[in-house]
Structure 1
Amino acid sequence: MPTVTPHPLPPTSLIPSSPYPLLHYPAILSRNTACNPAAVHDLFSSNGWDTQWIYRYGPTQRSHYHSQAHECMAVLTGRATIRFGVADTSDDLERSTHGDGHEQGGVEVQANAGDVFLIPAGVSHKTYDTRPVAEFALLTPGDGHHIAAADGDVRAVLAATELSGFTMVGAYPRGSVWDSCTGGEHAQKLRVVHAVPKPERDPVLGTAREGLCGLW
């Protein structure tokens, strides 16, 4: 029986959040699958989710959320901390990561290879303290909203992607277009976030009740 941990995250003064909980699937991918982006792509695709990027994360990043799409992230290599549910309040990345430059509340989760996160539209996230340490980079061709493949064979591109550092692969329900917001757009975005439809299938568990079909 797969273990899925739900994290309900209330709205803050800067983040709209979602009526759906953040879902964390610890170590749900086998070691062989986790380090095989093509295999993860096959799993997501079979459930109607499109793989759009692989990023290698740097030491920290700005907290952000997507108002127009739910997001699934699978950890391929490395480990890190991810803070969900609150906005940065300082432009100083060190202060917003390890100091007082962020809203209080939210949840911090340790992310390891094989973990999957299902992030509802409106829920903020910030990845930091990555190991191994590396520079931030988009590892797949394209603009982060799609994977460019000359012959349309996205799977072949993913299979050939070299992984290093802390890497995650991201997928979105088929047909979704995502934006990126850093907080404070609450009034304009709340209605948009709540209008994002619930997907028909969980990206990992399909129609099983242990996933979003039972928890959202």
Structure 2
Amino acid sequence: MKHDRESTLHPADVSYEALRLAPREWVPNNSRLPVLIYRRALDPSTKDLGKAFEALFTRNEWPPQWRDSIFDYHHFHSTAHEALAVISGKGNVIIGGPGGDVISFEAGDVVLLPAGTGHCLQSTEGRFQVVGAYPEGQQWDIRRDALSKEEIAAMEALPFPRSDPVSGSEGPLLDQWK
């Protein structure tokens, strides 16, 4: 699988990585838009980290919709981009579909998954819990199968979010998602 990683610092001084993925098996991934991984987007010792991430996402026009873990089977969302903020524990998540990259996340981290990006929880340490959020106006689905040409076209036509879920109007999403 061909992918490139780069690491940098965005204006709010939160470290992030950009991960570009090619399609893999039945998972389309998103060759135009990289996965963005924000390390320590919020201090993990923050009191009620879940509530803090929900407030951050709401302020940045990514309404939070649920709190739970990540499904332990390979899946992707074709109708929405997804931001996942880790609010407790540690987890290893396979990004990119079966045979994809295993990325470790811990409390305070956020992963931004463009529509079509495969993900699956591989293992956890402690109570691994995340907050899931989506851009205003986008409703997520759960896909475990290949998309038709029409569905791929609809996925690729999804509008870009107006703001970065972590940094608002100055975040890496606005630089990386062009």
Identify the TM-score tier after normalising by the shorter chain: 0.7 to 0.9
Q: Does the 8 Å contact 2:14/2:40 carry over to 1?
A: no
Deviation digits for residues 102-145 of structure 1, max 9, x if unmatched? 3x4x321001111000000000100121112xxxxxxxxxxxxx
TM-score (norm 1): 0.71
Residue 65 of structure 1 contacts residue 121 of structure 1 at CA under 8 Å; is this kept in 2? Answer: yes
User: Alignment identity in percent?
Assistant: 33
C-alpha distance in 1 between matches for 2:129 and 2:155: 27
**Distance across 1 between alignment mates of 2:155 and 2:118:** 12
Q: Which runs of 4+ in 1 moved over 4 A?
A: none
For residues 26 and 196 of structure 1, the distance between their equivalents in structure 2, rounded to whole angstroms, comes to 26
Distance 1:56 1:16 in 2: 23
1:73–1:118 contact (8 Å) kept in structure 2: yes
* Match status 1:41 vs 2:54: yes
Richer in helix (by share): 1
| From 10, 27, 31, the counterpart of 1:15 | 27
User: Is 1:55 matched up with 2:16?
Assistant: no
Aligned-pair Cα RMSD in Å: 1.7
TM-score (norm 2): 0.86
What residue identity is the alignment partner of 2:35? L
Alignment counterpart, residue 123 of structure 1, candidates 117, 137, 141: 117
The one-letter amino acid of 1:80's match is G
Greater share of strand: 2
Higher alpha-carbon Rg: 1
Unaligned residue ranges in structure 2 (runs of 5+): 1-12
What 5-or-longer segments of structure 1 have no aligned partner?
Answer: 87-101, 133-164
Distance in 2 between the 1:35 and 1:79 partners?
A: 16
SS in structure 2 at match of 1:82: strand
